[in-house]
Structure 1
Amino acid sequence: MTHRNDTAATGRLGRIVTGLEETAIAVLLGLMTLVTFINVVLRYGFNESLIWGLEVTLILFAWLVIFGVSYGVKVTAHLGVDAVISLLPGRGRRAAALLAAAVCLLYGVLLMKGAWDYWAPFAGLEQTTGRWFPTGLADGTRDRAFYVTDQVPMPAMFRFLEDLINYGEEYDKLPRVIPYVILPLGVALLLFRLIQATIGVLRGTREALIVSHEAEDALADVVAARDAETVTSQER
């Protein structure tokens, strides 16, 4: 399924989410490169370093990976095993794809609950009740809004969080609620992509959910390169 068909499957919302993911991935890669480059120059050129540079790079990398999970579903970049499914007739392959979609959606819902329950205390919010699925909001969730990162300075633009979730107490470092927000956000994007892929299977515009034939593509590239060399040699 092409990028164009995937986007059309969900219309304007799909285009917005695609733009968000692609922009975020590009910005995160750029920031990681910039911070690392500055740190190397400072270390080897001036015997100095950004104390918070490594932690920021780790946070940016974590964000990049989680954004990549949902984007990978969109472009079918995730690897899968379809050796058995490929042996099935057309209807059998479609049924297997829908079964896989149902399992992935169920997993996504469970993952969403876990992501929210982990992040919520750092935002001063309540976790959900229920062992497997959310049945409501729990009372008395331990407030962890005062937790901060190890070295990352507190940007002035986030000072409003002190009054919003930290009872007016000043943060001396970046609160963990900010880097951890990627958990519910990333899982929400993953759920959206899984729903989008499931719609594609139902409409017949997508054969499978996340299967990528990376090995076959690599082999085809090798064969094409070899054929090109043969043609060039014959011309000479």
Structure 2
Amino acid sequence: MSSYTGEGSKLGRIVNTFEETFIAVLLGLMTLVTFANVVLRYGFNDSLIWGQEVVLILFAWLVLFGIAYAFKITAHLGVDALTALLPKKGQRVLALLSAAACLIYAFLLMKGAWDYWAPFAGLSPTEGRWFPTGIDWGARNNSFYVTDQVPMLEWLRWLEPLTLNKGFEESQWEHYDKLPRFIPYVMLPVAVALMLFRIVQATLRIIAGKQDSLIVSHEAEDEVAAVAATHGEEQK
């Protein structure tokens, strides 16, 4: 399994490239839209009516992507005051238990994310309160919900027969006047899937002895303390 999910694997490299590129694009778009709105407002007494909503959507995407990315670089904060007192073997056992709990949580979150997003995309959510026990084929199609201000992009009109007009004859078809909500909401299952992938990677690293825990490393603090101690000795 590690050969397929490890950072050096083909899938790992693809995910790394996609994740880092997408984060950079999100930051760039947020900056561009905000800057354009400021220039329009103070320079031309105008504004992009959809600008604020787009920035909020992009920011939400960035946060969700950041959760998964933080697992990759071991940047999530945690309290290790008690685990640090244990011997290495005890720390390893607790790290594996924490990883197992995170895997279970991410799996449940994946189900919840899919079940929430699927109706907005004209798809069927799963059945079962905790674990998927089947497909709810009778779920209501909520693909008619749209964003408040974001205009519909013409090159996305091909989605209308698959979502808004699913099951209707062409003579009864309607059209989106705003961007459908399932497009910004798609980040929920995508981000949680990335989170699950990153937790699997981290768990495999812990099993292989390449990583001590899921939380942020204290190596930087140790280095700072060492430099401070050295500097103090020099002053003496």
**TM-score between the two structures when normalised by the length of structure 1:** 0.88
1:204 alignment partner in structure 2? 209
1:84 alignment partner in structure 2? 82
SS in 1 for 2:139: coil
| Contact residue 125 and residue 143 of structure 1 kept, 8 A | yes
1:148-159 → structure 2 map (5 Å cutoff)? 148-159=146-157
Q: Deviations over 1:10-35 (max 9, x none)?
A: x1111111111100100000000000
1:49-68 → structure 2 map (5 Å cutoff)? 49-68=47-66
Between the aligned partners of 2:223 and 2:51, the Cα distance in structure 1 is: 41
Q: Does 1:190 align with 2:187?
A: no
Q: Does 1:179 align with 2:184?
A: yes
Between the aligned partners of 2:221 and 2:97, the Cα distance in structure 1 is: 29
Between the aligned partners of 1:90 and 1:26, the Cα distance in structure 2 is: 38
Aligned CA RMSD, in angstroms, stands at: 2.2
| Contact residue 163 and residue 169 of structure 1 kept, 8 A | no
Offset of residue 87 of structure 1: 1.3
1:139 to 125, 137, 140: 137
Q: Deviations over 1:127-164 (max 9, x none)?
A: 11111111111132111101000000111111011111
Choose 136-145 or 98-107, whichever is displaced more.
Answer: 136-145
Supply the AA of the counterpart residue of 2:46: E
2:174 alignment partner in structure 1? 169
Offset of residue 226 of structure 1: 10
SS in 1 for 2:135: coil
Between the aligned partners of 2:217 and 2:59, the Cα distance in structure 1 is: 23
Which of the two has greater strand per residue? 2
Change (3 A) 1:205 1:121: same
After the TM superposition, which parts of structure 1 deviate over 4 Å for at least 4 consecutive aligned residues? 218-228
Supply the AA of the counterpart residue of 1:173: K
Identical counterparts, % of pairs: 63
| Contact residue 124 and residue 144 of structure 1 kept, 8 A | yes
Change (3 A) 1:224 1:34: farther
Change (3 A) 1:222 1:206: closer
2:27 alignment partner in structure 1? 29
Structure 1 residue ranges without an equivalent (≥5): 1-5
Offset of residue 199 of structure 1: 0.5
2:169 alignment partner in structure 1? none
Supply the AA of the counterpart residue of 1:196: Q
SS in 2 for 1:205: coil
Supply the AA of the counterpart residue of 2:157: R
Supply the AA of the counterpart residue of 1:35: V
Between the aligned partners of 1:131 and 1:31, the Cα distance in structure 2 is: 37
SS in 1 for 2:48: coil
